[in-house]
Structure formats: structure tokens, C-alpha cells
Amino acid sequence: MKRYLLRRLLWAIPVMFCVVLLVFLSLHLAPGDPIDVLLPPEAVGSNPAAREEMARDLRARLALDKPLYYQFAVYVGHLVRLDLGRSMITRDAIALELAPRYQATIELAVAAMLVAGTIGLVVGVLSAIRSNTWIDSLATTLALAGLSMPSFWLGLMMMLVFALYLGWLPPSGRPASAFTAEGFRFIILPALTLGVQAAGLLVRLTRSQMLEVLHEDYVRTAHAKGLRERQVVTRHALRNALIPVVTALGLQFGTMLAGAIVIEFVFAFPGVGRYLVQAVTNRDFPAVQSSVLCVSLTFVAVNLVVDALYAFLDPRIHYA
């Protein structure tokens, strides 16, 4: 197991290198020039010669006049030293700008995962053990509705109902960490919005896996021994049905990190998503690369944790 995890960690290095390379090439080959954002025409008046000279000096200072391979080598060298560089727009350290936003996005994704996992497992198991009843029909209908609703529309509807009409929750922002009482109120609506769609998928997956497991011989043997229904479901059926569900949870976490961009704009949530979109708009190359790198590292780490959970859930699984 340790050798397998170590090998996966080593494989993560070329994966992250490919991610950095693709993002770097995509940004530099896309049309547009960050100098146009940093030095708009109105900033230097009507003298084109002066603007051209200032643009040339600025390009040299930012090393944008160097070949792409040189710029990429310099950026990778900074990454090896754990230096994310400085923003082209604000000239502040990207690590300092990104740290609070990354914390906010991780809190949002974790809260959404808790919502999705709780709803998906509870409703999915209930739907399976009460299959072909009105409970099953209601659960599958709600799961389909959750999968079908666009997240931005659901967010606006929740904001309209719970913030505007009922006044129970704040509509937007994040004044504090989610681990405080004030911050917890601000994260409820975006977490519910982000978690509902994943919950719909988990309900359907949990239901199908439970229906398959409930007809296995060891479940019938557990019933024959006189075990209670709750013991049979939780100790025998659910644990063996969790392997595909855990896989889906790991994949959904990556989807939530991507979907958080939309949710953060809807709820004015100061996370990595809003920072990334602003950096792309401003052609802030180091900020975009660092944001994508942080999200990619998180996704790789989550998949590594999912692989480790397989052996915990099913002792029959061994890694060579």
C-alpha cells in the first residue's frame, strides 16, 4: 500500500508538469496582450511614440519579450522553489492573494461535498430498501430534478426565497471563515446550490449499487442469522456498495471545484473561481497559472485519498 501511494505521488509530478505546460501554452498562444491591460491608450495620452516606448520597457521588465521556452523555464524554476511569482496587475505576491481565496473555495467544496454525500447516501439507501414504493418514486424524481437544474438558476432561486423573501440567510459574500458562526450562515446557500446536483447523481448511484448488493448471498445469510435490518444494511450491504460511490465522490469534488466558479460569481463568494476569471480577463499569466495549479493539485490529492479509501472499505483490495 505504501509503495503504491508513493508511486502515485511520483506520477503526480509529470501530471502537474503537463498541466502547467498546457496552461502556459494556452495563455501565451491565445489572442490578446497583457500590456493592453497594464498600459491602456488613455493612460499615456495621445502620444503613440511615448506609449510604444513605455510598452517596450514594461514588456522587458516582465520578460514578455523573451522566447516562450525561456519564460516557461523561469516560471518552472520559481515553482521548484515554491514561489508562485507576482501578479502582473497588482504586483503583489500571488501566494498571499491566493491563500485566503483558496481557503474559501476549499471550504465551499467541502461543505458542498457534505451536503451531496449526506443527501446521496441517506436518500439512495432509503430508496433502495423501499424500492418500487412511493418513497422510491419520490427519491428518483427529486434526484432527476437535481441533475437537471442549472446551478446558477438554482442559486438565484435559493437567494430569492431564503434571502429575499424569508430573510433567513445572507444573500452573498463571505465576511469570515466557515468555521465561525457568522461565516457558516454565509456558506449555507452556495454549498446547497453546489451540492444538489452532485446529490442527484449520488442518489441514483447509491440506489443502483444497493439494489445489486441487497440480492447477494451474504446479505440473505445475514437476514437468516436474525440480524436487524439496520445492521444488515449498514454493516454488510452499504459498505460493499460504497466503492463506486466513493469513486463518484472523488470525481464530483473536482467537478465542484470547477463549478465553484459559477457559484462564486452568483453569490459574490471570494474564492479561487472569481480570482481566476479576473486573472484571465486581465491576461495576468502568473495568476492564472497559479490558480489552475492549486486546483489541479487538490484534484490529484483527492484522487489519492479515494484510492486509499478503497482498501479501507474493502480489505480484499490489495495494491501490488
- The answer to the question of residue 10 being in a domain is no
Whether 51 and 189 map to the same domain: the answer is no
Same domain, yes or no, for 171 and 50? Answer: no
Name the residue range of residue 22's domain: 16-83
- Asked whether residue 305 is domain-assigned, the answer is yes
Cell matching residue 74: 523561469
d(CA 105, CA 102): 5
The tally of domains found in the chain comes to 2
Bridge partners, 93 (sequence order): 86
Spatial separation of the C-alpha atoms in residues 206 and 201, rounded to whole Å: 9
**Residues 58, 114: one domain?**
no
Q: Tens-digit pLDDT profile for the chain (320 aa)?
A: 677 667 777 777 888 788 888 877 877 776 666 666 666 655 555 566 666 777 777 777 777 777 778 878 888 888 888 877 778 777 788 888 888 888 888 888 888 888 888 888 888 888 888 877 888 888 888 888 887 888 788 888 888 888 888 878 777 777 666 666 666 777 888 888 888 888 888 888 888 888 887 777 777 777 777 777 777 777 767 777 777 777 777 777 777 776 677 788 788 778 888 888 888 777 777 888 888 888 888 877 877 777 777 666 665 655 55
The H-assigned helical ranges of the chain are 2-29, 34-38, 48-61, 68-80, 94-129, 134-148, 151-158, 181-213, 217-224, 229-231, 239-266, 272-281, 285-313
Instruction: State residue 251's pLDDT score.
Output: 76
What local confidence, expressed as pLDDT, does residue 181 receive?
A: 62
What residues contact residue 2 under an 8 Å CB cut-off, 6+ apart? none
**C-alpha cell of residue 13:** 509530478
Q: What pLDDT was estimated at residue 299?
A: 79
Assigned domain for 113 exists: yes
Q: What is the spatial distance between Cα 137 and Cα 134, in angstroms, rounded to a whole number?
A: 5
Q: What is the pTM of this model?
A: 0.76
Report the C-alpha gap between 138 and 116 in whole angstroms: 17
Q: Quick one: 114 and 78 in the same domain?
A: no
